[in-house]
């Protein structure tokens, strides 16, 4: 493991010691199995990705990924930050165990990432006859029906990018439904995921993808910097971005056109609502 993985493992060990007394008795064995899995792996990142394929644990997976990315960038240690990170993982994991969607599992049999096609097929087909009015003003109907020469959006993404974009889209699309107390953290996670897409796209020379998600990260960073995360108008921007990405993931028409539409939406939002 590298230093960032070792740090996250130490954070989780502390969180696990707190969780053992707080999770339901019937879930303690699963918590211990999770701890053993993390302790014995030589690649914590792979194990964290697997969390996203276990029912009820997607939010916990995002929290682990966010912490791994941040600890890789920020190598300075402070006890205050460590305690805050412990609380972050404690909250994410206990929420997963207590969620209605929690499904008991055996870690040795945990699902592993499948193919791109399988992931795309798992996405529900949107109802194109009931496109929300807020989105229909931004995405012309022709984008949802015409077949353009360039590949669909999903064809522009490799498997890791597809998983990240899907989580980003799903989380952003329901941002307006998140409790106020959770929005700052949710915004930080969305920004991290957008930057992760950029980091994956650049080495592959996927210029349009890296450019679009750089803009997404930029507007999210501006919202965070200006302290506008609870502003209703700004909330609509984040939710609409998620909805637009969701439509792009489902549609078989031009992915480039969708990226252009999203870039134009971001530019207009910055000019009219973030000044």
Q: Bigger pLDDT: 163 or 252?
A: 163
Q: Bigger pLDDT: 108 or 142?
A: 108
Provide, rounded to the nearest whole percent, the portion of the chain with pLDDT above 70: 78
pLDDT of residue 175: 92
Dump pLDDT digits (tens) for 87-107.
888 888 888 888 766 665 544
Dump pLDDT digits (tens) for 130-140.
333 333 333 33
pLDDT of residue 258: 80
Half-sphere exposure in the Cβ direction for 193 (13 Å, CA): 25
pLDDT of residue 30: 83
Dump pLDDT digits (tens) for 144-159.
333 334 578 888 888 8
Look at residues 197, 266, 195, 196 and name the one whose alpha carbon lies nearest to residue 234: 266
pLDDT band at 172 (very low <50, low <70, confident <90, very high): very high
Lowest mean pLDDT among 38-52, 81-95, 232-246: 38-52
Report which secondary-structure segment, H or E, holds 46: helix 44-51
Check pLDDT > 50 for residue 251: yes
pLDDT of residue 234: 92
By the 8 A CB rule, do 253 and 146 touch?
yes
Q: Taking residues 112-128, what's their average pLDDT?
A: 35
Check pLDDT > 80 for residue 108: no
Q: Taking residues 100-125, what's their average pLDDT?
A: 44
Check pLDDT > 50 for residue 235: yes
Q: Taking residues 173-183, what's their average pLDDT?
A: 90
By the 8 A CB rule, do 90 and 16 touch?
no
Dump pLDDT digits (tens) for 49-83.
777 667 778 778 777 877 887 777 666 777 877 88
Provide the strand spans (E) within the chain.
Answer: none
């Amino acid at each position: 493991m590298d230093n960032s993985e070792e740090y996250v493992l130490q954070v989780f060990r502390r969180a696990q010691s707190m969780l053992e007394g707080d999770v339901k008795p019937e879930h303690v064995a699963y918590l211990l199995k999770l701890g053993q899995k993390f302790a014995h792996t030589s690649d914590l990142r792979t194990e964290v990705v697997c969390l996203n394929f276990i029912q009820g644990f997607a939010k916990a997976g995002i929290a682990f990924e966010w912490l791994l990315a941040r600890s890789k960038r920020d190598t300075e240690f402070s006890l205050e930050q460590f305690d805050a990170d412990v609380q972050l993982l404690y909250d994410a994991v206990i929420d997963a165990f207590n969620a209605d969607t929690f499904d008991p599992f055996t870690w040795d049999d945990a699902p592993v990432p499948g193919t791109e096609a399988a992931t795309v097929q798992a996405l529900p087909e949107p109802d194109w006859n009931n496109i929300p009015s807020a989105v229909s003003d931004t995405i012309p109907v022709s984008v949802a029906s015409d077949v353009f020469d360039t590949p669909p959006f999903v064809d522009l993404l490799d498997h890791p990018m597809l998983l990240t974009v899907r989580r980003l889209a799903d989380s952003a699309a329901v941002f307006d439904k998140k409790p106020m107390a959770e929005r700052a953290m949710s915004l930080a996670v969305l920004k991290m995921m957008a930057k992760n897409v950029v980091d994956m796209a650049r080495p592959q020379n996927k210029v349009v993808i890296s450019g679009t998600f750089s803009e997404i990260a930029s507007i999210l960073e501006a919202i965070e910097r200006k302290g506008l995360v609870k502003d209703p108008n700004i909330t609509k921007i984040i939710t609409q971005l998620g909805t637009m990405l969701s439509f792009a993931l489902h549609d078989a028409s031009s992915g480039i056109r969708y990226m252009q539409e999203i870039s134009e939406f971001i530019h207009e939002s910055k000019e009219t609502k973030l000044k």
